[in-house]
A and B are shown apart, each in its own frame.
Chain A
Amino acid sequence: DADVTQTPRNRITKTGKRIMLECSQTKGHDRMYWYRQDPGLGLRLIYYSFDVKDINKGEISDGYSVSRQAQAKFSLSLESAIPNQTALYFCATSDLPGAGADTQYFGPGTRLTVL
C-alpha cells in the first residue's frame, strides 16, 4: 500500500463550489504539506503543518484552508473554487529534523479542474 494517499485523484467542479482534497499517510511523520503545481511554475507551497496543533500558511494560501484532523490526515479545502485554481495538487510528508529528515515524500496527486 502507498505510504501517502490522496483522494480524489481527479476532480472536475464548477466555479463557486466547495471542494475538499484529502491526504492520509502511514509513514508516521509529523509534518505534512500541501502544494500545487502549474506548468512552468514548479511546486508552490499552500499550507504546512508540523503537528496536529500547528498550521502555517505557505506561499500561496489565499483561497485555501486546511484541517489537520490527526497526525495521519491533512485536508485541503477550496471554499469557493475559481478557474485559476485548476492545477495538480500534491500532499507531502516529512520526518522531524535530522540528517535526511527534511526529505519530503509525495502522494500521487489530485488533478483538479475548475470550470
Chain B
Amino acid sequence: QKEVEQNSGPLSVPEGAIASLNCTYSDRGSQSFFWYRQYSGKSPELIMFIYSNGDKEDGRFTAQLNKASQYVSLLIRDSQPSDSATYLCAVLLSGSARQLTFGSGTQLTVLP
C-alpha cells in the first residue's frame, strides 16, 4: 500500500461545476497535509495546507481533513478551464524527519 494515494484520473468536470479530489494516507499519526497544483511541464505550487479536522476555505478552494478516516480532499467550486492541471496531495508523515510524501497526483480537466 502506498503511503499517500490519489486517483490518477483523468477527472473531467464541466466549467462551473464542483471538482472533488481525494487523497488517502496510511500513517494515522500524520499531522500536516498539503495540496499542490502543477500545470504540465511546470513546478508544483501550493494551493493550501490543513492541519485540523474539518474544512478550510480559501476562495474557490476548500480542503477537508478527516483524520479518523485518514483522508484529505480538495473541492474546487465554480471550476474554470484554467484549473485544468494535476493536483498533488502531500503528507507530512509522523517520524518522517519532516519530509513530505507526495501522492502521484490527479489530473483534472475542466471542460468549457
Contact = CB atoms under 8 A, between A and B. Distances in A.
A104 B43 CA distance: 11
A105 B46 contact: yes
B97 A108 contact: no
Most buried by B among A90, A94, A102, A106: A102
B42 A56 contact: no
Contact of A90 (B8, B43, B103): B43
A103 B50 CA distance: 11
B102 to A, nearest CB: 4
B99 A106 contact: no
Interface residues of B, number: 22
Interface in B1-46: 8, 32, 34, 41-46
Contacts of B65: none
Contact of A40 (B44, B88, B104): B104
Contacts of A108: 42-43
Nearest to A97: B98
A45 B41 CA distance: 18
A interface bracket (residues with beta carbon within 8 Å of B): 20 to 34
Contacts of A109: 41-43
Given A104-B46, A108-B43, 11 more contacts: A33-B99, A43-B88, A43-B102, A45-B99, A90-B43, A90-B44, A94-B98, A100-B49, A102-B92, A103-B34, A107-B43
25 contacts: A41-B104, A42-B103, A42-B104, A42-B105, A43-B88, A44-B102, A45-B99, A48-B99, A50-B98, A56-B97, A58-B99, A90-B44, A97-B98, A99-B51, A102-B32, A102-B92, A103-B34, A103-B46, A104-B34, A105-B46, A106-B45, A107-B43, A108-B43, A109-B41, A109-B42
Interface of B: 8, 32, 34, 41-46, 49, 51, 88, 90, 92, 97-100, 102-105
